[in-house]
């Protein structure tokens, strides 16, 4: 008996010792059983959980190691203390109807798997993963959690191989640590159908993930940004990113040698499908539809591939593998350097860039203008612009471009303007030794400075180029004025200044001196100290003296075109055959007055452009040299054709030709007076300042005497400049200048065109010396007038009508009283009617405007022309001459 009793006690004792902590675990397990509704699904009877079905215990310690009750139709909740089952390795309750919170399993060092997917759990505690250093597989899919984020505690789970949290109301961003070195075991990451936002972390570059599923994020924001990090994820086999907002180009897939399935449908991906993807031999499923992919439709070549090509993209042609037009390829390479922005991918459809592609303007099939102004572009300027040889204008202003301006752009022999203002460019501005084009670089604080180290390649390239450039010929060193901008700022500054110092008599002229001196002194860098920001933003076309020496055979006598008040004009030819006219002032003339005229001329010419005004290509201020470089006008001056045609072996000008020249001149002067954004007065209009092109169209030259008409005052008192014979009486007597001074001179030119006589001709009898006086006398008498007409003009019934009208006009223009003279726009209207009447088929010069650009007119007009660049903020409405002339001020000349 006693022995039997003792034996029983012993058994009990053994039992007790054996399950040292199992009573605790039993309590927890019983609590679990009680909170679940196990009706019939599991046999969990008795008090020893180690005997329950689908529960496993450790043989020696009797501790619960596994609870695997998935798919048993169980409802109920989980008790809070499951985390006390310290030996638990597997906790699998998936595919039931469990509700309530998932309890914390923090600290379960042995836990390997947690499957809680496909239940009705309501939350995951923030510390759920704390200390789960053995955790390998987690599935939380398909639970209606309150919105939650992947908890930081997951960072402890460094053994993780398979993490799945699909469709479980996950929000926030994908934590970077999942892609990091510590998670090198992670091979499956499924986070589909949540509300994740943010980008694919760059850390994933080191990830060994094979299966990556991030598709179908809900909400407006979704996952976005680049997927370029995929190119380093060499273990990838299955990638599904469908239905997000990923953008930018597809990754280079050449290292993704295991990739079998690649689904990026319904994103915002742009750019070319890389050959590394469509030639990838491991690939069997690929879906690219409903993106903005560009270039040729890919021709997938893997043996068993089933490409899903449904949905839209922006491929150039539908047939797989058919190459795009070369222009398309080049444009795509150019926007590649900007990261293939969505804007272009959406709007560049088909295979013809000349068919209304945004930012592209063509002449015929040649791309002549690229205007990417203010498109928020990032990235760099591609050297491949150089492949579009027909380009005349490149406008990349007001973007966020970095790096350098590629040297290759100097190969563009037709390029006239490169506007890169207001970006973040650095390094040297490239110079060409063959062509002249304007580079506008204002608003780039690091331009002409070494690139910051971070921009790596760009910096190296710039200094390499700088090396090449040393001693090179054409130095379009500084880029050009955003002239309108400079003026705008100057005027603004002046106004502010006047507000602060109302008694101070500053002037635009002075402001301009500052600008020009800042520009020109000391060559390429010193003018741009950066302290004087708005002045420093000015720039101009600087051409090196060496180029001009080469172009003019070192200013050889035989190249002299003419001599003027301020210097000698030489003919020159650049390496590429472009002809130029170089106006050179010897150092002796340049001091004082000459230098002022020179600066005045630069200031005006860089601000005023028109097809009937001679184009200034650039200038040179080196040492004592002061040179201006103009467009070469092959037919020379109007006076050559009017007064020297016999010596030169030319034909006398026909009347209709004279009419059209008069109209050209009138238009140029009208522009000066009213259409340029501020009013200018030429002050020295005469036939030797009117130049003719091969088409015999005229341009007005020599603005050296022009003075800027200041705002707010109606006339300018200044020292007399001009040429006798053309001087308006009030100007000659008082020195006061209004636009009517030019109208007077123009009237004299009309008289010259009518009579073939010079404005002043000392060889004639006294009463005929002064043309204007003589003409008026002859005109009054209808009988004498026909004798005044140039003998070389064929006067017939047809011409006589217009001769009479022009004579009347000449008379009005040269009226003694300024108020009796018409405005230039009236003159233009009168002449237009005559030219149209006589030459009905001649294209009016306005019809030359394609897209509003006069390609003969390099810079400022393009800038100022709001119809093209679309942004009119820098322009002010021109003041009409009628407003300018109404009062005369007396006082000392300035
Ligand atoms: C347990 O499940 C049965 C059948 O699914 C159901 O009828 C019963 O109401 C449930 N009991 C509890 C307490 O949830
Ligand atoms: C449940 O298991 C116990 C032993 O663990 C057994 O005795 C009993 O018969 C089982 N019941 C059913 C319904 O299977
Ligand atoms: C679980 O462990 C905690 C602390 O270790 C303890 O406070 C709690 O009472 C335990 N729960 C059960 C049911 O043993
Ligand atoms: C996700 O969480 C939010 C906020 O907790 C909740 O309003 C919403 O109903 C949840 N969505 C789902 C599908 O459970
Ligand atoms: C790919 O890896 C290389 C080397 O580790 C790194 O320099 C590069 O930035 C990575 N690229 C991406 C897109 O993550
Ligand atoms: C991976 O992609 C292959 C090819 O499409 C497919 O057969 C396989 O089932 C996918 N694996 C997973 C886990 O999705
Ligand atoms: C597409 O690829 C196949 C297989 O490599 C090739 O035979 C075919 O010529 C390619 N088509 C085009 C248009 O390049
Ligand atoms: C340039 O980068 C900014 C900031 O990353 C971005 O918001 C913008 O969309 C980018 N621009 C383009 C055209 O891609
Ligand atoms: C222009 O410069 C390049 C290199 O800077 C040189 O190779 C080329 O010969 C030069 N061309 C002329 C016409 O001087």
**Distance from Cα 124 to the centre of ligand 1, integer Å:** 24
Contact 120, 97 (CB under 8 A): yes
Quote the tokens at residue 428.
């040297």
Residue 553 and residue 350: Cα distance in Å, rounded? 51
Residue in the structure block whose two tokens are 């295979």:
351
Contact 412, 389 (CB under 8 A): yes
> DSSP label at 592?
I
pLDDT of residue 223: 96
Contact 46, 52 (CB under 8 A): yes
- Cite the active site residues: 684
User: Picking from 540-549, 600-609, 845-854, which range would have the lowest pLDDT averaged per residue?
Assistant: 845-854
Strand residues in 428-501 grouped as ranges (E): 438-440, 446-447
pLDDT of residue 535: 20
pLDDT of residue 202: 94
Pocket test for ligand 9, best of 406, 411, 433, 468 (most atoms within 8 A of CB): 433
Identity of the highest mean pLDDT range in 40-54, 149-163, 352-366, 677-691: 149-163
**Distance from Cα 826 to the centre of ligand 1, integer Å:** 99
Ligand closest to CA 169: 4
| Mean local confidence (pLDDT), 427-453 | 80
pLDDT of residue 594: 61
| Mean local confidence (pLDDT), 694-705 | 80
Residue 162 and residue 867: Cα distance in Å, rounded? 60
**Closest by CA position to 508, among listed 732, 670, 680, 684:** 680
Q: Where are the alpha helices (DSSP H) in 624-765?
A: 638-643, 655-670, 729-734, 739-755
| Mean local confidence (pLDDT), 863-868 | 27
User: Picking from 61-75, 586-600, 664-678, which range would have the lowest pLDDT averaged per residue?
Assistant: 586-600
Q: 465 vs 354, which has greater pLDDT?
A: 354
Residue 280 and residue 261: Cα distance in Å, rounded? 11
Contact 700, 673 (CB under 8 A): no
Q: pLDDT for 526-577, tens place per residue?
A: 222 222 222 222 334 667 788 888 889 988 989 988 876 567 889 998 877 7
∠ Cα 865 673 884 (to 5°): 120
pLDDT of residue 243: 95
Residue in the structure block whose two tokens are 């003792």:
6
pLDDT of residue 863: 27
Residue 509 and residue 432: Cα distance in Å, rounded? 33
**Closest by CA position to 715, among listed 876, 487, 881:** 881
State the binding site. 583
Q: 50 vs 845, which has greater pLDDT?
A: 50
Contact 244, 269 (CB under 8 A): no
Residue 631 has pLDDT above 90, yes or no: no
Q: How far is CA 683 from CA 65, 241, 486, 720, in A?
A: 103, 71, 25, 9
3 state SS of 787? helix
Question: Atom 9 in ligand 1: which residue has the minimum CA distance?
Answer: 37
Bridge partners of 55, per DSSP, are: 67
Residue 884 and residue 861: Cα distance in Å, rounded? 23
| Mean local confidence (pLDDT), 617-635 | 80
Ligand closest to CA 240: 6
**Distance from Cα 378 to the centre of ligand 8, integer Å:** 6
Counting atoms of ligand 7 from 1, which one is nearest the CA of 300?
2
∠ Cα 854 858 862 (to 5°): 65
Please indicate whether residue 35, judged by its CB atom, sits closer than 6 Å to ligand 1: no
pLDDT of residue 703: 64
Residue 19 has pLDDT above 60, yes or no: no
Residue in the structure block whose two tokens are 């309501």:
122
Please indicate whether residue 281, judged by its CB atom, sits closer than 6 Å to ligand 7: no
What is the residue-averaged pLDDT of the chain? 78
Contact 596, 577 (CB under 8 A): no
pLDDT of residue 299: 93
| Mean local confidence (pLDDT), 408-436 | 84
pLDDT-derived band of residue 840, with 50, 70 and 90 as boundaries?
very low
| Mean local confidence (pLDDT), 210-220 | 95
Ligand closest to CA 37: 1
Counting atoms of ligand 7 from 1, which one is nearest the CA of 320?
13
Contact 301, 324 (CB under 8 A): no
**Distance from Cα 261 to the centre of ligand 6, integer Å:** 6
Radius of gyration of the chain (CA): 42
Q: How far is CA 721 from CA 685, 706, 741, 771, in A?
A: 11, 9, 11, 20
User: Picking from 54-58, 460-464, 615-619, which range would have the lowest pLDDT averaged per residue?
Assistant: 460-464
Residue 298 and residue 452: Cα distance in Å, rounded? 39
Packing angle between helix 797-813 and helix 739-755, nearest 10 degrees? Answer: 150
Q: 199 vs 471, which has greater pLDDT?
A: 199
pLDDT-derived band of residue 705, with 50, 70 and 90 as boundaries?
low
Residue 259 and residue 385: Cα distance in Å, rounded? 35
Bridge partners of 181, per DSSP, are: none
Write down the pTM of the prediction: 0.60
Question: Max alpha carbon distance in the chain (Å)?
Answer: 168
Residue 27 and residue 31: Cα distance in Å, rounded? 6
Phi, psi of 171 (to 5 degrees): -125, -170
Question: First CA to last CA across the chain, in angstroms?
Answer: 138
pLDDT of residue 798: 81
Q: pLDDT for 789-835, tens place per residue?
A: 999 998 888 888 899 999 999 999 999 999 999 999 889 988 988 88
pLDDT of residue 591: 60
The neighbour count for residue 574, using CB atoms within 10 Å, is: 22
Name 588's Cβ contacts closer than 8 Å, sequence gap at least 6. Answer: none
**Closest by CA position to 33, among listed 16, 19, 12, 53:** 53
Write the DSSP assignment of 161-204 as a string of letters.
-EEE--SS-EEEE--GGGGSGGGTT--EEE--SSEEEEE--GGG
pLDDT of residue 565: 59
∠ Cα 710 856 625 (to 5°): 65
**Distance from Cα 342 to the centre of ligand 4, integer Å:** 32
pLDDT-derived band of residue 838, with 50, 70 and 90 as boundaries?
low
**Distance from Cα 432 to the centre of ligand 9, integer Å:** 8
Q: 827 vs 512, which has greater pLDDT?
A: 827
State the binding site for ATP. 583
Residue 11 has pLDDT above 70, yes or no: no
pLDDT of residue 378: 94
Residue 327 has pLDDT above 90, yes or no: yes
Residue in the structure block whose two tokens are 């539908």:
318
Residue 872 has pLDDT above 50, yes or no: no
Name 540's Cβ contacts closer than 8 Å, sequence gap at least 6. Answer: 478, 480, 481, 519, 520, 602, 606, 618, 619
Between strands 393-395 and 170-173, the pairing is unpaired
Please indicate whether residue 46, judged by its CB atom, sits closer than 6 Å to ligand 2: yes
User: Picking from 395-404, 598-607, 628-637, which range would have the lowest pLDDT averaged per residue?
Assistant: 598-607
Q: pLDDT for 130-184, tens place per residue?
A: 999 999 999 999 999 999 999 999 999 999 999 999 999 999 999 999 999 999 9
Write the DSSP assignment of 74-100 as a string of letters.
-EEE--GGGGG-TT--EEE--SSEEEE
Domains of the chain, earliest start first: 359-494 (3.80.10.10), 530-633+855-890 (3.30.200.20), 636-846 (1.10.510.10)
Please indicate whether residue 81, judged by its CB atom, sits closer than 6 Å to ligand 3: yes
| Mean local confidence (pLDDT), 626-640 | 87
Contact 735, 632 (CB under 8 A): no
Q: Where are the alpha helices (DSSP H) in 563-681?
A: 587-589, 595-605, 638-643, 655-670
Packing angle between helix 739-755 and helix 824-838, nearest 10 degrees? Answer: 30
Please indicate whether residue 413, judged by its CB atom, sits closer than 6 Å to ligand 1: no
Quote the tokens at residue 826.
């009236």
Please indicate whether residue 39, judged by its CB atom, sits closer than 6 Å to ligand 1: yes
Please indicate whether residue 376, judged by its CB atom, sits closer than 6 Å to ligand 8: yes
% of the chain beyond a pLDDT of 70: 75
């Amino acid at each position: 008996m006693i022995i039997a009793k003792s034996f029983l006690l012993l058994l009990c004792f053994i039992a007790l010792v054996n399950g040292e902590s199992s009573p605790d675990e039993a309590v927890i397990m019983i609590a679990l059983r009680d909170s679940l509704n196990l009706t019939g699904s599991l046999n969990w009877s008795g008090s020893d959980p180690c005997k329950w079905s689908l529960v496993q215990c450790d043989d020696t310690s009797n501790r619960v190691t596994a609870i695997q009750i998935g798919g048993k139709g169980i409802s109920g909740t989980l008790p809070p203390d499951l985390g006390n089952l310290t030996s638990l390795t597997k906790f699998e309750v998936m595919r039931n109807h469990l509700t309530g919170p998932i309890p914390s399993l923090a600290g379960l060092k042995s836990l390997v798997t947690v499957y809680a997917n496909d239940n009705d759990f309501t939350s995951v505690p923030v510390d759920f993963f704390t200390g789960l250093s053995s955790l390998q597989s987690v599935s939380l899919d398909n639970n209606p959690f309150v919105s939650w984020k992947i908890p930081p505690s997951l960072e402890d789970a460094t053994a993780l191989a398979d993490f799945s949290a699909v469709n479980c109301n996950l929000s926030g961003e994908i934590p970077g640590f999942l892609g990091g070195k510590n998670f090198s075991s992670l091979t499956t990451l499924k986070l589909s159908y949540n509300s994740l936002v943010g980008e694919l972390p760059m850390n994933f570059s080191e990830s060994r993930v094979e299966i990556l599923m991030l598709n179908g994020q809900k909400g407006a924001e979704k996952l976005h940004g680049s997927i370029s990090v995929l190119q380093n994820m060499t273990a990838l086999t299955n990638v599904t990113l469908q239905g997000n907002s990923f953008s930018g180009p597809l990754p280079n897939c050449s290292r993704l040698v295991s990739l079998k399935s690649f689904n990026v449908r319904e994103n915002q991906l742009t750019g070319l499908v890389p050959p590394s993807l469509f030639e990838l031999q491991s690939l069997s499923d690929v879906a690219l539809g409903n993106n903005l992919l560009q270039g040729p439709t890919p021709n997938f070549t893997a043996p068993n591939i089933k490409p899903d090509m449904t949905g839209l993209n922006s491929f150039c042609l539908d047939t797989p593998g058919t190459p795009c037009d070369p222009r398309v390829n080049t444009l795509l390479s150019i926007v590649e350097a900007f990261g293939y922005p969505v804007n272009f991918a959406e709007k560049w459809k088909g295979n013809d860039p000349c068919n209304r592609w945004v930012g592209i303007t063509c002449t015929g099939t040649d791309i002549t203008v690229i205007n990417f102004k203010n498109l928020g572009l990032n990235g760099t300027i591609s050297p491949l612009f150089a492949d579009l040889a027909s380009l005349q204008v490149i406008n990349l202003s007001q973007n966020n471009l970095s790096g350098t301006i590629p040297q290759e752009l100097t190969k563009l022999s037709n390029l006239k303007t490169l506007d890169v203002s207001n970006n973040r460019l650095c390094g040297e501005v490239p110079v060409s030794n063959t062509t002249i084009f304007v580079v506008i670089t204002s608003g780039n604080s690091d331009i002409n400075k070494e690139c910051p180290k971070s921009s790596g390649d760009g910096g190296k390239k710039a200094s390499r180029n700088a090396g090449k450039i040393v001693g090179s010929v054409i130095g379009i060193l500084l880029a050009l004025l955003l002239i309108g901008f400079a003026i705008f700022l100057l005027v603004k500054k002046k106004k502010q200044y006047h507000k602060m110092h109302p008694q101070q008599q500053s002037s635009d002229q002075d402001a301009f001196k500052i600008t020009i001196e800042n520009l020109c002194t000391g060559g390429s860098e010193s003018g741009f100290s950066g302290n004087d920001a708005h002045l420093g933003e000015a720039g101009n076309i600087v051409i090196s003296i060496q180029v001009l020496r080469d172009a003019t055979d070192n200013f050889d006598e035989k190249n002299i075109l003419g001599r003027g008040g301020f210097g000698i004009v030489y003919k020159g030819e650049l390496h590429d055959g472009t002809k130029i006219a170089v106006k050179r002032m010897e150092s002796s003339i340049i001091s004082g007055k000459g230098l002022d005229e020179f600066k005045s001329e630069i200031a005006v010419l860089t601000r005023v452009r028109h097809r009937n005004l001679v184009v200034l290509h650039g200038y040179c201020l080196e040492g004592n040299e002061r040179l201006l470089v103009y467009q070469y006008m092959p037919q020379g001056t109007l006076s050559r054709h009017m007064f020297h045609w016999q010596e030169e072996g030319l034909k006398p000008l026909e009347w209709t030709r004279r009419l059209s020249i008069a109209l050209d001149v009138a238009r140029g002067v009208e522009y000066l007076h009213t259409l340029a954004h501020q009013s200018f007065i030429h002050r020295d209009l005469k036939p030797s300042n009117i130049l003719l092109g091969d088409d015999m169209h005229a341009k007005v030259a020599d603005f050296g005497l022009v003075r800027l008409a200041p705002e707010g005052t109606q006339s300018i008192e200044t020292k007399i400049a001009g040429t006798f014979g053309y001087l308006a009486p009030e100007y000659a007597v008082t020195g006061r200048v209004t636009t009517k001074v030019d109208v007077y001179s123009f009237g004299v030119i009309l008289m010259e065109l009518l009579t073939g006589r010079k404005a002043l001709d000392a060889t004639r009898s006294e009463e005929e010396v002064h043309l204007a006086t003589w003409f008026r006398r002859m005109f009054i008498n209808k009988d004498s007038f026909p004798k005044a007409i140039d003998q070389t003009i064929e006067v017939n019934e047809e011409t006589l009508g217009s001769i009479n009208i022009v004579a009347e006009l000449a008379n009005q223009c040269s009226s003694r009283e300024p108020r009796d003279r018409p405005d230039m726009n009236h003159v233009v209207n009168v002449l237009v009617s005559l030219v149209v009447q006589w030459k009905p088929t001649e294209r009016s010069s306005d019809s030359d405007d394609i897209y509003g650009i006069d390609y003969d007119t390099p810079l400022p007009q393009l800038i100022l022309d709001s119809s093209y660049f679309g942004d009119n903020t820098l322009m002010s409405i021109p003041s009409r001459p009628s407003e300018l002339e109404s009062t005369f001020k007396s006082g000392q000349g300035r």
